[in-house]
Amino acid sequence: MNNKRVLEILFICFVVSLIAQWMQDKPPVQEEPQGKPEVVTRGGLPAQPSTKLPIAVGGVVPDFQLNNARGETVVHKAGTGPLLITLTATGCADCIQRIGKEDATAYEMAAKSGVPVWNMLVYHPDNQAASFVERHNPVADEVVADPTSQTSVRMLGGSDATCWLLLDKEGRLAYRGPVSLDNLERELRAL
The lowest-confidence range among 2-6, 16-20, 78-82, 87-91 is 16-20
CA distances from 151 to 6, 15, 85, 106, 157 (A): 31, 18, 11, 21, 8
pLDDT at site 9:
73
Q: What φ, ψ does residue 57 adopt, rounded to 5°?
A: -60, 130
80-102 pLDDT, tens digit per residue, is 999 999 999 988 888 899 998 99
| Fold of the CATH domain 49-190 | Glutaredoxin (3.40.30)
**Per-residue model confidence as pLDDT tens digits over 122-166:** 988 888 899 999 999 999 999 999 999 999 999 999 987 889 999
Question: Where does residue 160 rank: exposed (0-12), middle (13-18), buried (19+ CB within 10 A)?
Answer: middle
The reported pLDDT for the residue numbered 46 is 40
- What is residue 188's predicted lDDT score, i.e. its pLDDT? 93
pTM summary value: 0.73
153: which DSSP letter?
I
Phi, psi (degrees; rounded to nearest 5) at 112: -65, -25
Q: Per-residue pLDDT for 56 more than 50? A: yes
Q: Where are the domains of the chain?
A: 49-190
154 near 55, Cβ under 8 Å?
no
Is residue 139 within 8 Å of residue 162, measured between CB atoms? Answer: no
The CB density around residue 120, as the number of other CB atoms within 10 Å, is 25
Which residues are paired to 177 by β-bridges? 164
